[in-house]
Amino acid sequence: MKSKEMKYVVVRDEDDHYVRSIVFPKDLTHAEVAFRFRRMERVISAGFCYLKDEDGKWCTYGESESLEVKSHPNDYMVLNQDFFGD
């Protein structure tokens, strides 16, 4: 069994110094969230995510149809760094 499925976007800051993840409920679109954070032009990946029962770490996959971007194989690492520091 897995935790509740969520959506996420990974964005890059204006100066390209870091990337950050934003996790949100599935009833919002990726584009709505990206627009609200005013980072639409800096979205580098997006998809779906959930916390794995085995270790409580993020698992990421899929793509965003509203932003027309795919998830990146290493997105799970960005989410885990942002949420857990590892």
Tens of pLDDT along 19-37?
889 999 999 999 999 888 7
Instruction: Please check whether residue 36 lies inside any domain of the structure.
Output: yes
CA torsion sign for 59, 32, 17, 83 is negative
Q: Which of 39, 30, 34, 45 is nearest to 77 (CA)?
A: 45
Range of the domain at 37: 6-84
What's the number of domains the chain is made of?
Answer: 1
Specify the residue for token string 């149809």: 65
The per-residue pLDDT for 46 is 97
Instruction: Please check whether residue 72 lies inside any domain of the structure.
Output: yes
Instruction: Please check whether residue 18 lies inside any domain of the structure.
Output: yes
Please give the chain's pLDDT, 86 residues, in tens. 567 999 999 998 777 777 889 999 999 999 999 888 765 568 999 999 999 988 999 999 999 999 999 999 999 999 999 999 97
Instruction: Please check whether residue 26 lies inside any domain of the structure.
Output: yes
Instruction: Please check whether residue 1 lies inside any domain of the structure.
Output: no
The per-residue pLDDT for 36 is 84
Phi then psi for residue 76, to 5 deg, are -60, -35
User: What are the distances in angstroms from CA 24 to CA 6, 16, 61, 77?
Assistant: 6, 23, 15, 17
Please state the pTM of the whole predicted model.
Answer: 0.89
